Amino acid sequence: MQDRGRLGVLLVAPALAAVLVLFIYPLGYSLVTAFQAKGGGFTLGNFAKAFEFYSVDIGFTLVIIVVSTLLIALASIALGGYLTLGENPWAVALLRWLYRWPLFIPFVVAAQCMRTFLAKNGLMNNTLVGLGILDVGQTIGFLDWRGIIITFVWKQTPFVALLVAGAMASLDRSTIEAARNLGAGRLRILFEILVPQVMPTLVVGLILSFVTMMSVLSVPLMISGESPTMMTVDMAFRINNYGDYGTANALGFVSYLMTATCAWFYLKRQIR
Amino acid sequence: MRAWIGRGIVFGLLAFIILGPLANLVLWAAAEQWYFPHKLPVVYGTKFWEQVFKPRGDALVSLVTSVWIALATVAASLALAMPAGYALARLKLPWRTAILLAFLLPQAFPSLAVYINIARLFYDFRLNGTMTGVIMVHTVHGLVFAVWITAAAFAAVERDLELAARNLGASGLRTFLTVSLPLAAPGILASAIFVFLESLDEFTGTFFVGVPDVITLPLLMFTASIAGNYQIAAITALVLLVPSVMFMLVIERFLKADVLSKVGA
């Protein structure tokens, strides 16, 4: 048994080493650099500079990601609920086919789709004008922070909905039937029976989405590169234009803090 | 009847929201001229397709670069993940949960902040702007899928079958090669596809580590889009979409419920 344990460690070691060298070491390096002055030595100057220049973007990042996460949660509960409780098999099958199109679409491609779809003269406004719902003078473009939220929700909802719908499908149907027989409406069944039971899955999906959105560079760059924008754009700007690793890493540290709050909930769930 | 009208409106709206942006991409890819105030392209044609796919053109070079990087990433990930996955599924490991979570780390932290530092560290090893550097970054990012799904695939293999082979006198290695590996193959293939797509679609890491010499398809698409060449961007985007959509349609054939339920467990 001792031998098998050693073999196991030996087999896992190369993969672990890769994560250690190519992720954990640079991560530690970024944490140290965030608190380091140009000549070495401890400083909080990087953070002062980061907040002085980018406090608006830090706020926007938080708002964009929190709002997106909430909208994704609502949309995926609605989708999962309809897929589980929907009474018309045709409508359920149609929805199952429809909802997951954006699932494997890369963020760059999603951003390119939205860049032309949401523009003032994009296909969305053209269609609304064509259908007579809007007048040409009333159209507005969404290529700002709202566009970033729309793109995130469009891209990430199928992922969370897939997890949630899967979890709902594997629940015991008898409680649903019992509630239905007692006269509970579908909305009540959804929020009082289904959602509490799939909460762990929902939270995990949302946290993974949160972290993903936190590090996407292409969507904010392509939808709205002008200020106010997201911190990822500012980090890339500091590096590419000034080689300013101090400020960039200070911003990175702020983004770690935002996700660490989330990851903490995740870890608490995993290690029991 | 009333129910169907309501359903029709909701589904129509949903289809517009989900498929509209994609339809828009297809229109741009087919358009030769499209300008305000025209609601649809003015001239359709394949002029830009010829420009994108001309021999030795930028797009073709990028496509080949992207595919090579993705294949090498799959090879590297599987080489690391198959032993690790088997150990996590079958052998006694100290701190098993912690090890599983270690592979999740690259997806659990905002990766952009880490990539800029990898790029800086890579300068010392002359890995910036090289395929090797990009492959290394993609491999670590995809490792969580590779390790978790392979571990689940090995865990889903029935232990009795392995024991039977051992009882009939097969060695540990032979049992692994003739029983465990073939039975886990669909799951391993699924993880390979995941890693392939992750690598093919990866943008941020390549943006910092690969520039200026390694230009993958997503980077080419980004550059075209920022420069306002929407046709070129749309055509490149469609090329990127083909493998993604294909996988979406067949995912359930590779990832069976018995494997899925063991992912991350």
Give the position of tokens 């999906």.
Answer: A205
| A191 alpha carbon, distance to own chain's centre | 23
Please name the residue that has the structure tokens 């690391």. B80
- Asked whether the beta carbons of residue A122 and residue B244 sit closer than 8 angstroms, the reply is no
C-alpha B127: how far from its chain's center? 22
Task: Write down the ipTM of this complex.
Answer: 0.83
Residue A39 belongs to a domain: no
Tokens in use for A115? 């860049």
Alpha carbons B210 and B219: distance in angstroms, whole number: 10
- Count the domains in chain A: 2
**B113–A235 CB contact, under 8 Å:** yes
Could you tell me if A56 and A149 lie in one domain?
yes
* CA A256 to chain CA mean position, Å: 14
pLDDT, tens digit only, all 265 positions of chain B: 777 888 888 888 899 999 989 988 888 888 887 777 777 787 787 777 887 777 777 888 888 999 999 999 999 999 999 999 999 988 888 888 888 888 888 877 888 889 999 998 998 898 888 999 999 999 998 898 889 889 988 988 888 888 898 889 888 888 888 888 888 888 888 889 889 988 998 999 999 998 888 999 999 999 988 888 888 899 999 988 888 878 777 776 766 666 766 666 5
Which candidate from B17, B86, B92 shows the least CB-CB separation from A1?
B92
Query: Largest Cα–Cα distance in chain A?
Result: 76
Residues 6+ apart with CB under 8 A from B227: none
Q: Specify whether A96 is located in the same domain as A194.
A: yes
Are A230 and A176 members of one domain? yes
Amino acid identity, residue B61? V
Nearest neighbour of A22 by CB, restricted to B22, B101, B136? B136
The CATH number of whichever domain residue A209 belongs to comes to 1.10.3720.10
On whether residue A134 sits in a domain, the answer given is: yes
Interface of B with A in 236-255 (CB under 8 A): 237, 240-241, 244-245, 247-248
| pTM higher than the cut 0.90 | no
- Do A23 and A97 share a domain, yes or no? no
> Is A160 a domain residue?
yes
Whether residue A9 lies inside any domain: the answer is yes
Residues A114 and A160 in one domain: yes
- pLDDT tens series, chain A, 272 aa: 456 668 888 898 999 999 999 999 999 999 998 998 877 788 888 899 899 889 999 999 999 999 999 999 999 999 999 998 888 888 898 998 888 888 878 899 999 999 888 887 788 888 888 887 877 777 778 888 889 999 999 999 998 998 888 888 888 888 888 888 888 888 888 888 888 888 888 888 888 899 889 889 999 998 886 768 899 999 998 988 888 888 999 999 999 998 888 777 666 766 65
| One domain for residues A23 and A50 | no
CA distance B40 to B37: 9
Domain co-membership, A60 together with A179: yes
CA atoms within 13 A on the CB side of B94: 9
Orientation angle between helical segments B230-254 and B181-201, nearest 10 degrees: 160
- Which letter does DSSP use for residue B32 in this model? E
Amino acid in the structure at residue B261 = S
**By C-alpha distance, which of A52, A261, A104, A116 is closest to B194?**
A104
Q: For chain B, first and last CA: distance in Å?
A: 47
Q: Hey, are the CB atoms on B24 and A116 less than 8 Å from each other? A: yes
In this structure, are A213 and A108 located in the same domain? yes
Give residue A1's pLDDT. 47
Residues A61 and A6 in one domain: no
Q: What is the DSSP letter of B1?
A: -
Rg of chain A over Cα atoms, rounded to whole angstroms, equals 23
Q: What is the pLDDT of residue A272?
A: 54
The answer to whether residue B260 neighbours chain A at the CB level (below 8 Å) is yes
CB burial readout B78-99, b (16+ within 10 A) else e: bebbbbbbbbbbbbebeeeeeb
At CA B108, angle to CA B146 and CA A264, rounded to 5?
130
Q: Are residues A53 and A154 in the same domain?
A: yes
Q: Does B92 touch chain A (CB under 8 A)?
A: yes
Domains of chain B, with CATH numbers? 2-44 (no CATH), 54-260 (1.10.3720.10)
The residue segments making up the domain with residue A154 are 46-270
